[in-house]
Amino acid sequence: MSAISTNEAGIPVATRPRRSAQLGMLIFAMIITVAGFAQVGLARDGSLPAGMYGYGIGLGILAAGAYIVVARFAPYADPLLLPLAVFLNGIGLAMIYRLDLNTSADAKATIAAGKSYSYIGPSTTNQLEWTALGIIFFAVTLLVLRDIKIVQRYIYTIGALGLFFLALPGFLPSSISGAMGAKIWIRIGSMSIQPGEFSKLALVAFFAGYLVNKRQAMSTVGKEFGPIKLPRARDLGPILVIWAICLGVLALENDFGSAILFFGLFVSMLYIATERFEWVAIGLLLLAGACLVAPMIPHVAQRIDTWLDPKPYFDGGCKINGVIHNQMAQTCSAHGGQYIADSGQLMRGLFSMGQGGVLGTGMGQGEPWRTPLSYSDFIFTSFGEELGLTGLMVILLAYALIVQRGMKAAIATKDNFSKLFAGGVSFVFALQVFVIVGGVTRLIPLTGLTTPFLAQGGSSLLANWILIAILIRISDAARRPAPQPIQDEGMTQVVNTA
Amino acid sequence: MNQLTLTLMKVAFLAVLWLFVIAAVGVIRADLWGSKAAAKALRSSKPAQPARQPKAAAPRSRRSEPTKLVITQGARAGTTLDLAGTEIVMGRGGNDVTLPLGDDYSSGRHARLFSQNGQWFVEDLGSTNGTFLGRAKVSRPEPVPVGVPIRIGKTVIELRK
């Protein structure tokens, strides 16, 4: 019995439990988290912060719980997925704690000055609660999905639910679902959920289940248009319809980040299922087409203008007689101008990263809170300021490793549904990181997506912990050694008929 | 805290972050090529392995009914299937097969497994290369005891309790 075997494609797959490596990496991730907290306290107040013990122990207990569940119920799972997720979640918590201290200080000053104050901002306690819930979801997913094929039985139900929850905020009144220009939330009391985060996973499951049945028909049967071979309408139709509904819904909800995500998901899964490069080419062509059409939508046009040249729009761009001046919306209308957009957030994020440079200012020593939403959408620039390029590279590598481990599980597993599911889930994760990090660094126009595991936000954390549970389940199945025969009767007899 | 301490702390933290990534890559490396410690553990645990006694075909009784089908060798080795009492058709692959084997030496529809009064039978469906139960070629429906290998091409299947 060898610890490393090769699967039918000749790819080496480790087939032994690696609990100690996992535990070691998990402890390492916790040490980094606690060190992050300690550094914040030492830099700001010269002493170890009070929050370090509470939040550190809290996350430590959660990580230990997750480790026990994985060791017990998925012993052969990839040893890196859980530690990487805990690492990102942990440093995210440390950064939110660091921003929380500043806004709390601001809040105290405001209250002391006798002004009314309503608090919307970073909250470490809140984030830790959501992390706890996320890890509970993680454990439940691992316990319920003892075999990933259970999902395959319910793909149509899962797909329908995914679509329903994706569309739901669009039909609810704005008071419940709208915020910051997009209608993607469902607010119940003080809780708000972003159902799109979960729909993403549901639709990956649906596409995987559908394509696994149709892939052969799709890659072989079809009409030829020159060099391109398109599948029959009856094979491609259903996914095309669902995909069009998704994009339509997202356009209505003004959620273009998710629209990019769903588009990429669709193209990548077709490519993985059929192994035909045409799909990538068609996807790129459609994307080019979308780039020509999208600027006609005002919401998108603003984003593109502020992306190409953000300077005129710093703290509000106001068009007076064809020239853009920096003015807030109210002063702008007072001067009879046309208010266009505000790039203040984007530019402050860029300043923040510029301030950080290569080595950063050190945790607790920069001023990242000056960027609006520095604890959620723009948490990446907060890290850029305090950890510098050196730290950002570590964060991006951690994401890349999660994606790599997911893809590895997809390659190693023998089950076709698991292959598609793991491949799709990993690709969506990678694309999400690309869209948000590309957005805040001004590589592509900014669209609001959450930074997985780092940003403050409940739904995103829950969905990403479920995603890690799915990858762990698939990697466990992929790395589990083949059962030994009970009776060993020598070589298999093979009769070859020519 | 003076500036020097803070700077040292900052650089140390970044170094620890990078150590984490390097350690993670080390885990992947050990996964691919094996680590010394793991190889040693494997060597010391090896003598314990042959303790697995071959179980003789269990006597036929209600309690020895198989509940699982396991593929122990072949392209789909490691696949397990819960036996629910319904018929299982095995073959190379395609839509009319319950259990695709992905085996080039098997026929499209190669053999079927079905249960009668709790006893599972294997029947050859006119395959080219034949189906073997233990060492005997299956020419008519044969009862399948738990743990006896069924060979189809390069694939070996067993029923388990």
At A257-283, the pLDDT tens digits run 888 888 888 888 888 888 878 788 888
Q: Is B129 on the interface with A (CB under 8 A)?
A: yes
How confident is the model over A143-160, as a mean pLDDT?
89
Cβ distance of A480 and B78 shorter than 8 Å: yes
Q: Which residues of A touch B6 (CB under 8 A)?
A: 42-43, 362, 365
Higher pLDDT, A152 or A488: A152
Confidence of residue A14 (pLDDT cuts 50, 70, 90): low
Cβ distance of A83 and B52 shorter than 8 Å: no
* pLDDT at position B59: 44
* pLDDT at position B56: 44
Q: What percent of chain B has pLDDT over 90?
A: 14
Contacts 24+ apart (CB under 8 A), A394-397: A394/B14, A394/B17, A394/B18, A394/B20, A394/B21, A395/A88, A395/A91, A395/A454, A396/A433, A396/A437, A397/B21
d(CA A12, CA B27): 15
Query: Is the pLDDT confidence value at A2 over 80?
Result: no
Query: Is the pLDDT confidence value at A189 over 50?
Result: yes
Cβ distance of B17 and A414 shorter than 8 Å: no
Q: Which residues of A touch B27 (CB under 8 A)?
A: 18, 21, 25, 79-80
Q: Confirm whether pTM is higher than 0.90.
A: no
Q: What percent of chain A has pLDDT over 70?
A: 89
How confident is the model over A90-97, as a mean pLDDT?
93
Query: Is the pLDDT confidence value at B51 over 70?
Result: no
Query: Is the pLDDT confidence value at A289 over 60?
Result: yes
Confidence of residue B53 (pLDDT cuts 50, 70, 90): very low
d(CA A449, CA A126): 20
Higher pLDDT, A47 or A118: A47
pLDDT digits (tens, 9 = 90+) for B55-67: 444 444 445 678 8
Query: Is the pLDDT confidence value at A125 over 80?
Result: yes
Strands B150-152 and B155-160: antiparallel
Query: Is the pLDDT confidence value at B50 over 90?
Result: no
User: Which residue in B9, B16, B158 is closest to A485 by CB distance?
Assistant: B158
Confidence of residue A390 (pLDDT cuts 50, 70, 90): very high
* pLDDT at position A380: 94
* pLDDT at position A486: 64
Confidence of residue A31 (pLDDT cuts 50, 70, 90): very high
DSSP states of B53-88 as a string? PPPPPPP-SGGG---EEEEEESTTTT-EEE--SS-E
* Three-class SS state of A367: coil
Cβ distance of A486 and B55 shorter than 8 Å: yes
Higher pLDDT, A392 or A308: A392
Q: Mutation target for A interface from B4, B22, B28: give the one with most A CBs within 10 A.
A: B28
Query: Is the pLDDT confidence value at A379 over 80?
Result: yes
Cβ distance of B73 and A483 shorter than 8 Å: no
* pLDDT at position A220: 72
Query: Is the pLDDT confidence value at A176 over 70?
Result: no
Query: Is the pLDDT confidence value at A177 over 50?
Result: yes
* pLDDT at position A1: 39
Nearest of A449, A257, A442 to residue A353 by alpha carbon: A442
Confidence of residue A441 (pLDDT cuts 50, 70, 90): very high
Q: Is B44 on the interface with A (CB under 8 A)?
A: no
Q: What are the angstrom distances between the C-alpha of A176 and each of A163, A172, A257, B121? A: 19, 7, 20, 60
Q: Are A33 and A94 spatial neighbours (Cβ–Cβ below 8 Å)?
A: yes
* pLDDT at position A253: 75
Tokens of A110: 């405001």
How confident is the model over B81-104, as a mean pLDDT?
81
* pLDDT at position A63: 95
* Three-class SS state of B160: strand
Mean of pLDDT over chain A:
84
* pLDDT at position A496: 59
* pLDDT at position A230: 72
Query: Is the pLDDT confidence value at B154 over 80?
Result: yes
User: A11: distance to nearest CA of chain B, Å?
Assistant: 10
Q: Mutation target for B interface from A84, A359, A487, A495: give the one with most B CBs within 10 A.
A: A487
* pLDDT at position B54: 44
Mean of pLDDT over chain B:
79
Nearest CA in chain B to A42: B1
Nearest CA in chain B to A408: B28
* pLDDT at position B74: 83
* pLDDT at position A13: 66
